[in-house]
Amino acid sequence: MNGVTYLANNSWVPKIEYVNPYSNGLPANLFDASSSINVTNKPYSDPLWGADINTPFNNSANVYDPLTSSLKSAYQILFGRVSTLTVNDQPQSQNNTQNPTYTVPPVTIPNPTYTPPVVTIPNPTYTPPVVTIPNPTYTPPVVTIPNPIIPVQNNGNSTIIPENNQPQAGNNNSQAGNVNQNPDNTSKSWGDPHFVLNLGNYSQHSFDFQGKNQSVYSMLESDSFSLKALFNNAGDAGSRLITDQDLAVKGTGINIVSHKNGTYEIYNYGNKISSDNAELKKLGISLNKEGNSLSVEYQGKKIVQNLKGSEIENRVSTGTNDRGLLTQLIGALDKDGSLDGITHINYDTNKDGKINDKDVLYYDKNKQMMVASQQSAVSAPVKTSFTDNSQTIASQFVDIMSSHKGDVKKVFDGAFKDADKISSSKDSRLNLSASDSFAVISAKTAMKKMLENFEKNNSSAKPEAVNAVSQWIESSTNQIQSSLYTANAAGFKENSGYSKSQWNELAGNSFITYDNFLLKKI
């Protein structure tokens, strides 16, 4: 008899091998003390059992034991018979039931490998929230608002908004489709200067922009033309006039420099040529001068300059891909409640004989900087460069306004509710309220002191007016710069303490540019 151990039914139990003496020593039956019998090899009949034991049976079943002539459990019978049959490895008497001592060999239990449970640990890596920091460097055309804190030199002056930050050309408005061109000569600048939407017999004032003295501004940048204008002080230094311009015909090397006195010069790659030079016709440039009117046409686009003697007026057609001050008129007149790229006007723009919702003009809302403002001989005071001094600006403004008293309400228009309707320092709308912001308080106080200065007409009222205006300049400049830093004209918020005129003066300086060619030719 041989004893081995194996794992059955999740417990360690003995396995007993029964050797049948009639089977030449081959294993006859395998017994599992915890389950059933499996016969692997046996003679045709077993005299000890007297029964077919090929069929497994449970160890708890009762079977007939021929040795004891009684019913016993399978386990008892098997264990007893194995003990009897394997005493001397020879057949024994059926009545020999002695049971020798059975020694179970050592049981080796393998050391089970411990498998720890899978533990999911949250990712300890901290992912900080995304923080959008305004890019102080203007990247056209995504950001159309210049950085108001980088000084750039221009003709000896330092300006808050550099020339490089001019709004750039972008794509057409999606709702506009292929509408790069609005009707011809839709935009006009004239006077000191005023910017007007001009269509045939239809004209509507859009905004005023005085600009900086002796500074060059981009009036138009299109596929065909680049028009730059030099702004200079008018008589009382309260306003500016366009005195000289440089019209570059793109891709040709032709520059036409014009002057307010009615003269002009034509240059071909810097070399002066006459108006009848064959090169102009070869390039497809048409130039015509009649009286004070100078017109230049190229690739189906036309610019008309009126050299009036005191200043230069411009009439041009603009499209949604163009940029420059003359492209700002249409968007400034958009009164639909939001800058959506379409301006509805009371003019038959599509020439279908009817005036309806289909009569629209298009502009690029992402490049719109200017807002609609009143026509005034004087612009509102605001700091446009780091070298500007609020007290100095305020003093000059108070002196200039003494000759333009009727324009006070125009320069304060938009700073607070009904500012454009106030003409007396005793108007109750100038009273301060608990809901007024500091900027609005500054605007109301400045306007009240300005009007008192006119009404009292004495030297004691002027210092108070200057101090109040100086405070308003500081407050409003900060307010506008904050809005321009994050948005274009959509950032303008009426009744926030700064006026429409102030906004335009600061925003308009984003169109400052350089033109050494122009400056050398005047």
Is there a single domain that holds both residue 68 and residue 185?
no
For 28, the 3-state DSSP assignment is strand
Tally the domains of the chain.
Answer: 3
pTM higher than 0.75 for the full model? no
398 and 293 part of one domain:
no
**Are residues 344 and 313 part of one domain?**
yes
User: Tens of pLDDT along 311-323?
Assistant: 999 999 888 889 9
Choose among 262, 247, 243, 252: nearest CA to 296. 247
Are both 368 and 423 inside the same structural domain?
A: no
Distance, CA of 319 to chain centre: 25
pLDDT over 80 at 13, yes or no: no
pLDDT at 364: 92
One domain for residues 321 and 421: no
For residues 204-231, average pLDDT: 96
pLDDT in tens, 325-339: 999 999 999 988 788
* pLDDT tens sequence across 366-415: 999 999 999 998 999 999 988 999 999 999 999 999 889 999 999 999 99
Predicted local confidence at residue 483, as pLDDT: 87
Predicted confidence at residue 17, as pLDDT, reads 39
Check whether residue 276 and residue 325 sit in a common domain.
yes
Whole-number pLDDT of residue 237 = 65
Whether residue 446 sits in one domain with residue 400: yes
Residue 110 lies in a domain: no
User: What mean pLDDT value characterizes the chain?
Assistant: 75
Q: State mean pLDDT over 120-140.
A: 46
Q: Say what percent of the chain tops pLDDT 70.
A: 64
Q: Are residues 461 and 522 in the same domain?
A: no
Q: Locate 174 and state its tokens.
A: 């999606």
- CA separation for the pair 218, 326 (Å, rounded): 9
pLDDT for residue 385: 87
Average pLDDT estimate for 245-268: 97
Domain carrying residue 59? 3-85
- Residue 32: pLDDT over 60: no
Whether residue 310 is predicted with pLDDT greater than 90 in this model: the reply is yes
Considering the domain architecture, whether residues 505 and 492 belong to the same structural domain is answered as no
Alpha carbons 206 and 187: distance in angstroms, whole number? 10
Q: 408-453: per-residue pLDDT in tens?
A: 999 999 999 999 999 999 999 999 999 999 999 999 999 999 999 9
Inside any domain, residue 489: yes
Q: Is residue 194 part of a domain?
A: yes
The verdict on 361 and 506 lying in the same domain is: yes
| For range 93-119, the mean pLDDT | 49
Residues 308 and 355 in one domain: yes
- Candidate ranges 124-138, 287-301, 483-497; pick with highest mean pLDDT: 287-301
Task: Indicate the residue among 57, 85, 113 that finishes a domain.
Answer: 85
The rounded distance, in Å, linking the Cα atoms of 472 and 100 is 119
User: Among all chains, which residue has been given the structure tokens 């007409």?
Assistant: 457
Both tokens of 501, joined, read 């005129």
Say what the pLDDT of residue 117 is: 60
Both 505 and 491 in one domain: the answer is: no
For residue 42, pLDDT over 80 is answered with: no
| pLDDT for position 39 | 36
110-119, 147-156, 313-322, 478-487 — which one is most confidently predicted on average?
A: 313-322
Q: Specify the residue for token string 């017109």.
A: 295
